[in-house]
Amino acid sequence: MSTAITTRHQAAVMQAQAKTDDQLVALWLHDKSAETQSAYADDLARFQQFAGGKPLASVTLGDLQSYADSLSSLSANSKRRHLASVKSLLAFGQRIGYLPFNVGAAHKLPAAKDTLAERILSESQVHAMIALTGDQRDRVLLQVLYASAARVSELCALKWRDVQPNQKGGQVTLFGKRNKTRVVVLSEQTYKALLSLRGSAGMNDPVFLSHKGGHLDQSQVWRIVRQAAKRAGIAGNVSPHWLRHSHASHAIDRNAPITLVRDTLGHESLDTTSRYLHARPGESSSLYLSI
């Protein structure tokens, strides 16, 4: 078989993976978490509405540039996220042969201010959130969320079979983003607090029960975190992810090896974890000035 025929055959096979925009979107979203799927779907719907329902194969660079201009009222970070979603879909469409080329590749994402430092709580704030929470389930949830650096989806999915003892106290097995599994060791204090919720629950029962008896919903965890922050007098739209950021920053402040923090958080790149070094620096040339 000639090279040209082979190339055409490969293209035909790739093209068959999706025949409509809806099928392409379904393939694009398939392996993403429910939370990410929802956010990406909303971003795409906004773009499609702006483009007047135009098929993706007909989208031009001009359409994308006009859409970017229409987002001028949003913050730089929000604008970047909306555009990144569309660019991701267009790149995926070309990668599987559905789109002849990727017009998004020619459009650069806008620079955005790194606001990570704003989403890192102090240790005293975290301790206040936990201490001022009266409900036992909610108090333990906050403690484990911070101690394990779990994503909210990982925390909600926990079953008792994922909780095991070890020589340090205990450990939890988390399964989440990009279908990755990681084991996080908990202190004896946090492990005992977690076990206090078990009662007669079986191995396959949820660790954090909703009032209806099933797994706690992610929206409920957001509510628990926000109420805890309010009780502690913390301003801002505090989310569960702030406790993950705080875990990383506090561990580094206490001289935890950055590679260990990377593995605990489940980051693929050390560059991602290194952001916490710069978010709360301990030194600055300003300290050498006379004022």
User: Residues with catalytic annotation?
Assistant: 151, 177, 241, 244, 267, 276
Which residues 6+ apart lie within 8 Å of 260 measured at CB? 251
Q: Are the CB atoms for 185 and 132 separated by under 8 Å? A: no
Using CA atoms, how far apart are residues 46 and 125, in angstroms rounded to an integer? 37
Going by the DSSP 8-state scheme, the letter that residue 111 receives in this structure is P
Instruction: Sort 280 into a burial class: Cβ within 10 Å, 0-12 / 13-18 / 19+.
Output: middle
Q: What are phi and psi of 266, to 5 degrees?
A: 80, 25
Q: Are 207 and 160 in contact (CB under 8 A)?
A: yes
Residues 6 or more apart in contact with residue 211 via CB below 8 angstroms: none
What does the chain come to in residues? 291
Q: CB of 77 within 8 A of CB of 55?
A: no
List of residues 6+ apart from 206 with CB closer than 8 A = 158, 159, 214, 215, 216
Four-point Cα dihedral 138, 144, 149, 153, nearest 10 = -50
Q: Collapsing DSSP states into helix, strand and coil, what is residue 182?
A: strand
Give φ, ψ of 84 to 5 degrees: -60, -35
Q: Is-contact 29 40, C-beta < 8 A?
A: yes
